[in-house]
Homo-oligomer: A and B are copies of this chain.
C-alpha cells in the first residue's frame, strides 16, 4: 500500500498559521466570494470555505450575481470590491455561467486582491516567476503537498496530465521552478501510458473519473490527483483509480481529502497575505 498524502495535516498547519497572524487584526480580514446562481458544486465549495474561514478567523462576504447581470454591472461590482479597503481578497467561482461576464470580471479584478490567480497579470506572474502575485490555489496546493511530504523535485521527471490555465499549465511552471524536468501531456498525447510510467512525479488534472488506471503506474512514483469527479454511482472520485494505483506507487493523494482541502486553506492564506500588505 502506498503512503497516503492526506491534505488534512497540510491544511491544519496553514490554518493554524493564519489563525495566529489574524489574531493581530481580529475580525478584520475579509474575503469576498462572488458566484452566479446557486450551483450545487459552488454551494458545496462555499460551505467548506466558510467552515475553514471560521477556524482561521477570516470573514467571508458572499456576493450572488443574478444570471441576467450585464458585463458592465458585474464590472461595477468588482470595481467596488477593488476599492473597498475592508475587502482583502476576491474569489470568483468559475465557470460563472456567462463567459462575457466572466471575462469582464477577470479583466477588472485588481491583481493584489486576486487571491486565486485568475487575472492576466497573476497568470503572467506564475509564468515568469514574478513575486508578489497569487498563483491559482489548486496548482499551489499540489506544490504544498509535495513540499510538506518532503518529496524531492530537483532533477526529477514530473509529468502533468492536462493543460488547463487553472491547473495544468501553472503547476507545470511551478514544478519547473523547483527544477523538475516537466512534461505536459493532454488528450492528443501519444503513448500516454508509457510517458506517465517514466515519471517520478505524476500530477493528474483531466477531470475524468478513474481514467488513469493502475497500468499507468510503476513502483516508486508519487501521484498528485487533482481530479474531483463523480463516478457512475454518484460517488466522488479522482482522475486516478485510487485502489489500483495504491497497490503500485510509493505515495498518492486521496480524493476526497487530498488536494481539495489544501486548496481551500491556501485561498485563506492568500487572503491573509493580501491583508498584511
Contacts and interface: CB of A to CB of B under 8 A. Distances in A.
Contacts of A186: 176, 179, 181
Given A120-B121, A120-B128, A163 B184 contact: no
Interface string A118-132: 001101111110100
Contacts of A127: 123-124, 126-127, 165, 169
A154, A179, A182 — which one has the most chain B CB atoms within 10 A of its CB? A182
A152 to B, nearest CB: 11
A126 B154 CA distance: 26
- Copies of this chain in its oligomeric complex: 2
Interface in A114-150: 120-121, 123-128, 130
A34 to B, nearest CB: 21
Contact of A181 (B124, B126, B185): B185
Interface in A143-175: 154-157, 163, 165, 169, 172-173
Contacts of A185: 181
Interface string A232-248: 00000000000000000
A123 B155 CA distance: 26
A188 B175 CA distance: 12
Contact of A123 (B128, B156, B179, B195): B128
Interface of A: 120-121, 123-128, 130, 154-157, 163, 165, 169, 172-173, 176, 179, 181-186, 188-190, 195
Which 3 A-B pairs have CB atoms at the shortest separation, nearest pair first? Answer: A124-B124, A179-B188, A183-B183
23 contacts: A120-B124, A120-B128, A121-B121, A121-B124, A123-B128, A124-B124, A124-B127, A126-B127, A127-B127, A154-B188, A155-B189, A155-B190, A156-B190, A172-B184, A179-B188, A181-B183, A181-B185, A181-B186, A181-B188, A181-B189, A181-B190, A181-B195, A182-B184
